Structure 1
Amino acid sequence: MSVETGTSAGTGTEVAAGVRSAGASGRRGIGVVPAPVLMLIGMVSTQLGAAFAKQLFGTVGPATVTLMRLGFSALVLLLWWRPSLRLDRRTAGAVAALGVAIAGMNICFYLAMARMPVGVALTVGMAGPLAVAGLSSRRAGDRLWIVLAALGIALLGWQGGAAGLTGLLIALACAVFWGSYVPLSARVGALLPGGGGLALAMAFGTLCSLPAGIAEGAQTLVRPEVLAFGFGVAMLSSLVPYTCEMETLRRVSALVFGVLLSLEPAIGALVALAVLQETLSPAQVAGLIAVVVASIGVIRGSRKAPASVPSPTLPKGTQQP
């Protein structure tokens, strides 16, 4: 993945320097924005990306959208962080595992989203990190929150028919990948501090999604309007929320950040209503509320955990589907 010599090398260096300079300027500019507002901007941006991605499904399929989102995101992050490709076997294995998790949760999220409302797919997927957080705690009360979340998911998935069941199963697969993302991202972050590990994992995830994405929509990937739309989805889904969350985490505690992040399913449902005119049944609204309440309950419970017990928290939303 090295840059070619000559003119190409100079261009790559200038682009990378420009991206880093823009990132630094952006951080200074957003410093005056209140942290909760930044978090809201990031979450709305993520869900706008999901809604626009669903609009693409009439032209390209979920696998191709996944390929474009991961590919463009990886390109920007690699230019931003410029990580070294010299990894030992342990680090390379952790990066590869994280890449598989990122690719799996994204393609499963988009496949589920094609069969059910965005808010439902997102809320079911969120059960993965919620389960990891609750089950890693020794507090009995956190298990009760998991039960509440399971009841909420049952309400969300109760649509009847094969399509509803298929969508629910795919969303649960997304939850598994998203849940595995939690410990894997922590491991990669410990081995490669900063965003370099994420950039490399995103690149590996792109390679994992390449065969399915090309097989599904190779002919559409040469159309400039499709690529432009895919780039927009990638920036809305990754770069904007990533920037907002990084700045938010500098100013607020993990508890506050986690509680704010727990509101994302509700924001996703509202954005889908505004952009896609997707409505939820009363039972699905009740299920969404149950999962949000359970998520907040687990996070708030982490504040009461003994010092010797790792506090269960939901992961950063950077790579949220």
Structure 2
Amino acid sequence: MHSSTPSSRSSARSLGLTLALVSAFAFGGSGTAAKPLIEAGLSSQHVVWLRVAGAALVLLPLAWRHRAAVLQRPGVLIGFGLLAVAGVQACYFAAIARIPVGVALLIEYLGPPLLLGYVKFVQRRPISRGAAVGAAVAVGGLACVVEVWNGLGFDPLGVLFALGAACCQVGYFVLADAGRRGERPIDPLAVSAFGLLIGAVVLTAFTRPWTADWGVLAGQVTMNGHHLPALLPAAWMVLVATVLAYLTGVVAVQHLSPPVAGVVANLEAVVATVLAWVLLGEHLGLPQLVGGAMVLAGAFAAQSSKPADDPARALDQAVAVTGSDPLPPTGADELRDQRPVQPNQSR
């Protein structure tokens, strides 16, 4: 069934890694773009709604072009919208209302190790040593990046919300990959477009955007002592940190494996910290520099691991074998009938 050549598999892997890096860098700029808007008067919940709803509007033509996907795999699209878009955002912002942002970020980025645990202990599929070591090193690096030791006063409910964000992040990787599995694969661009549309609808119900003072967007915001139009960071947050980030991230998962794409995604925290240093004047300390190096090392260890058996299965087992489509929290009935013929992949 795997008819691709080693060179084509290597090219797909390189493309996947490149897209995963682009996605991590794009996602990493969201906080830096959002902070001036929040400081100008918008609540964090309304900024999140602006981000998702704006991206959904931009991708509306793409969703219309791929409207057949709604009938092909509705479970995957609904699951992606609820978990990978609305779930991650809602849980994360509920968490930072109760616990330090750095602690919440670290807990959320336990997603890749949780994904590996799901693969190994729930699906009972082998994972590569490189992916496991890479995930462990990357999480250790994240502890340094966010300086977790500076904020250990945990609120139990806040921790639960952050863990919810981590679990939803697992859904991002699982469902992004599930779209290409089975007899009715769907375009990854359709997954992103409809996921953001569904996420925008869900977030609208919870954030009530009509109560926000959107006049802020017509004024100026301050970034590291410099004044700039509020629409500039808003546009960056929508077009780059959401549209570009989701599109490249979903396609990357389909060229890599979900565990490896998850580990590479940890670079988002490093990017966010560096951008905050450059654009917001939040300086990096030695622990954060060391942590950033550890995250880079972990991502490299994961993406450079080698297959352990039959070369014909190299594409699926090159990094971390996760088995055929798992049953995500939504759309389970649709995915249940897919046949686990070969060790396929399941953000």
TM-score above 0.5, yes or no: yes
Answer whether contact 2:33 2:234 (CA < 8 A) is retained. Answer: no
The share of aligned pairs that are identical, in percent, is: 19
Counterparts of 2:67 and 2:17 in 1: how far apart (Å)?
34
TM-superposed deviation, 1:73: 0.7
Counterparts of 1:85 and 1:36 in 2: how far apart (Å)?
29
Q: Name the structure 2 match of 1:138.
A: 126
One-letter amino acid matched to 1:184: L
Answer whether contact 1:62 1:111 (CA < 8 A) is retained. Answer: no
One-letter amino acid matched to 1:219: A
From 212, 230, 244, the counterpart of 1:219 = 212
Task: Evaluate the alpha carbon distance shift between residue 40 and residue 95 of structure 1 in structure 2; reply closer, same or farther with a 3 A threshold.
Answer: closer
Counterparts of 2:218 and 2:58 in 1: how far apart (Å)?
19
CA deviations over 1:87-117 (Å, ceiling 9, x no partner): 34x7222211110111111234455567656
Q: Secondary structure at the match of 1:233?
A: helix
Q: How many residues align?
A: 273
From 172, 175, 178, the counterpart of 1:184 = 175
More helix, by proportion? 1
From 76, 80, 90, the counterpart of 1:98 = 80
Which ranges of structure 2 fall in alignment gaps of 5 or more residues? 1-14, 120-124, 220-229, 323-346
Answer whether contact 1:130 1:295 (CA < 8 A) is retained. Answer: no
Q: Secondary structure at the match of 1:192?
A: coil
Q: Where in structure 2 are the equivalents of 1:124-273 lying within 5 Å?
A: 124-133=107-116, 136=119, 138-139=126-127, 141=129, 142-152=131-141, 154-155=143-144, 156-162=147-153, 170-190=161-181, 191-214=185-208, 218-221=211-214, 224-225=217-218, 228=231, 230-241=234-245, 254=256, 263-273=267-277
Task: Evaluate the alpha carbon distance shift between residue 200 and residue 185 of structure 1 in structure 2; reply closer, same or farther with a 3 A threshold.
Answer: same
Which ranges of structure 1 fall in alignment gaps of 5 or more residues? 1-33, 315-319
Answer whether contact 1:41 1:241 (CA < 8 A) is retained. Answer: yes
TM-score by length of 2: 0.61
Matched, 1:312 2:320: yes
> Over aligned residue pairs, what C-alpha RMSD do you find?
4.2
Q: Secondary structure at the match of 2:150?
A: coil
Counterparts of 1:39 and 1:145 in 2: how far apart (Å)?
15
One-letter amino acid matched to 1:138: P
Q: Secondary structure at the match of 2:110?
A: helix
Q: Where in structure 2 are the equivalents of 1:100-115 lying within 5 Å?
A: 100-101=82-83, 102-110=85-93
TM-superposed deviation, 1:192: 2.0
